[in-house]
Amino acid sequence: MSEKQSIDRRQMLKEAAIHLACRNGYDRTTIKDIAQKCDVTVGTIYHYFASKEDLFKEALVDRLPRLDESLPEISKLPIEEGLVQIAMITVNGLRQRAEMVSVICSESLRNPEILCLFVSAINRLREALEKYLEDKIAAGEIGPNNVKIIFNIFFGHFFTYFFHKERLGIQNLPPLDEQYIRDSVKTLLVGWKQGGSISESEKPT
């Protein structure tokens, strides 16, 4: 079998694994389930992956979201538009990886390796975005703010809303579309522009 086919098959198995685990959880996703979904036998899976855990670890590693490459372009935009772009990339990233996010949220609590993946993805995002916000403060586009807090507000807002609306399926919430994102960003910016989220202890004397 050609190398390409081999890569495709690995990919197919990883995707099936994540897809099933998203619905049923890691423990209730059996090797046989994955094999059947891919029309192969259990033995085949063990040709490509050393164990069930390995299969999932690989599946999660190679699909972590990356905001980094888009940031340089976005930095050139005015902050209103920049934050909208960032929020949309973040939400779309979650959406495309919705199944993976679910698996990671569940499994990270008990699997340190998966926790590590999750944390490093969030930290990459945090660092990039804090840097972006600091630049904008320096440039005077928004007032002086505690960037840790405003990152938390920004990310927590979109993450939780995505989780409530698109993963848990809570009813009667407005759609998480561009309009909602623009309204949210506008709301946030009203305060951020004025500044003031520097805590007493951080204030320069």
Residues in contact with a second copy by the rule CB under 8 A: 22-28, 102, 105-110, 115, 118-119, 122-123, 145-146, 148-150, 152-153, 155-161, 164, 167-170, 173-174, 179-180, 182-184, 186-192, 194-197, 199, 201
Which entry of DNA, a second copy, none binds 196, CB below 5 to 8 A by partner kind? a second copy
Tokens of 186: 């506008």
Q: Is 181 in contact with 87 (CB distance < 8 Å)?
A: yes
Contact 114, 108 (CB under 8 A): yes
- The answer to whether 104 touches 114, Cβ cutoff 8 Å, is yes
CB of 110 to DNA, least distance (A): 13
Region of 148 on the Ramachandran plot (φ > 0 left; ψ -120 to 50 alpha; else beta): alpha
d(C-alpha 58, C-alpha 70), whole Å: 25
As measured in angstroms, the least distance from the Cβ of 58 to DNA is 13
Amino acid at the residue 86: I
Q: Nearest distance from residue 73's CB to a second copy, in Å?
A: 26
Binder of residue 44, out of DNA, a second copy, none (CB less than 5 to 8 A by kind)? DNA
Q: Which residues bind DNA (CB under 7 A)?
A: 1, 5-6, 9, 27-32, 40-44, 46-48, 50-53
